[in-house]
Structure 1
């Protein structure tokens, strides 16, 4: 029995390890070829993620593909996830953690140091696609088979957060990971991917454009927006879950 449990734990851990090793080796080699800077970091990250894809997909092929996403519910979940990301960012901003975390600032400078087009391609499409394949398509599915739905939702989210390697992103990614795992369970991997992509897209547009400037103009305005967005998240999730029950 002990050997069985260790095997199940290993089945969860080693795909993450392979993803981590492959992407970091590729980044290391690219850095040797041409020194990595904030300006070219996203290009390197995209290349590393694409190279890691066949390795992760080979593991995913062994898993149950899950449900086929319903488009209207997927849109509701994705919209809720995008707003959830905004609310989380606001709440973390209020704590002052972003200003005191040098590791977060370094990561943020790298991810937002390229062109908008590359950031959308990498941060909003390629990276979340592969991360969902790994963390929800493989890790969550294997944890669910081993420990059940509720424990798998929590553990997969904590693992997802921990793999970001700084406190700010751990808090943010763990909270988002909880929602993404719930979406995965309710609507399938396609919906989780869409939700992750929209969440990242909102973050990129907020950081790199003035599209959401109205939310950051004042503390009062930010708090009001946070409250309103929180209400909208609840409404969107209620509609999405009701739609799921009626199918």
Structure 2
């Protein structure tokens, strides 16, 4: 029987996956900063260090900021195996406490709906935020965008488009949201998890955008009952965002009102259409799980039978 967890234990279970990622990011950034500092200082002689200290500090800062994206992707890659380990530990915990739920598999081609939904949401969301004027009151958003979208298309596509979405989905949907579901209803867990996901992004524009996206991530997860759904959604949205930012492929729609509004309305219509299709044509039914003893390995079941019937061993 599962013991009742204290509130401290519950909170710790919810936050330590994210803290792991933050901790790895911090360590990676510190190591990089120290290396950059030593390599920068090594280029100056002792006489010029004091006279040019301000210039040296600015140079170190610029060099550190120039590799911000690389450091984030590296930290994500280092954290990924730990998150997979946490996720597997949760699955074993579910088996131990009889919380295993199995569902029928959704046909692979229906995941195309999730990818299209991700791209439509990205375009509609960014255009609607632009209309709202939130970009103008969030200075930190511009600073973060300059750091992340620095013209490194391949790295951005792979790092921001694939690796970071996998890591964030494991933290927020695979671990945090699933654990919240042990303590609260789906609706409450979805809102709380999405609020945390919004605050995690650190600025008003991305916070609102991330909150709304997170609700959709959780929606597709609950419809498909697979982590592949929110990961694919997240990756599709991020890849489109990278391509639009770095290639200027949609610059033409922002030059006048008619194409801009036409694109925004079309993106919103596609978004609504994909949600309708997923709601009506994606069905993942729950499969009855065998009794706990039937799901155990043969040697464990035999040991339990021996304990229950000691006379059989005589």
**Same fold, TM-score > 0.5, yes or no:** yes
Which residue does the alignment assign to 1:31? Answer: 33
- Once the two structures are superposed, the pairs formed by residues 1-247 of structure 1 within 5 Å of their partners are 4-34=6-36, 35=60, 36-64=63-91, 70-187=107-224, 188-245=226-283
From the superposition, tell whether residues 219 and 210 of structure 1 become closer, same or farther in structure 2 (CA, over 3 Å): same
Question: With structure 2 as the length reference, what TM-score do the two structures score?
Answer: 0.73
Q: Which has the higher contact order (CA 8 A, sep 6+)?
A: 1
C-alpha displacement of 1:225: 1.3
Higher deviation after alignment, 7-16 or 185-194: 7-16
From the superposition, tell whether residues 173 and 66 of structure 1 become closer, same or farther in structure 2 (CA, over 3 Å): farther
From the superposition, tell whether residues 9 and 137 of structure 1 become closer, same or farther in structure 2 (CA, over 3 Å): same
C-alpha displacement of 1:93: 1.0
Runs of 5+ unmatched residues, structure 2 = 37-59, 92-100, 286-314
Runs of 5+ unmatched residues, structure 1 = none
From the superposition, tell whether residues 130 and 246 of structure 1 become closer, same or farther in structure 2 (CA, over 3 Å): closer
**Structure possessing the higher radius of gyration over alpha carbons:** 2
Please list the CA deviations of residues 127-164 of structure 1 after superposition, one character each: whole Å capped at 9, or x if unmatched.
11111111110011001121121111111111111111
Q: Does the aligned pair in 2 maintain the 1:79–1:236 contact within 8 Å?
A: yes
Partners of 1:155 and 1:100 in 2: CA distance: 25
Across the aligned residues of Structure 1 and Structure 2, the Cα RMSD in angstroms comes to 2.2
Question: With structure 1 as the length reference, what TM-score do the two structures score?
Answer: 0.92
Q: Does the aligned pair in 2 maintain the 1:101–1:168 contact within 8 Å?
A: yes
Q: Does the aligned pair in 2 maintain the 1:15–1:134 contact within 8 Å?
A: yes
Partners of 2:102 and 2:243 in 1: CA distance: 31
Please list the CA deviations of residues 76-116 of structure 1 after superposition, one character each: whole Å capped at 9, or x if unmatched.
02211211111111111112222332211111001001410
Q: Secondary structure at the residue paired with 2:282?
A: helix
From the superposition, tell whether residues 69 and 9 of structure 1 become closer, same or farther in structure 2 (CA, over 3 Å): farther
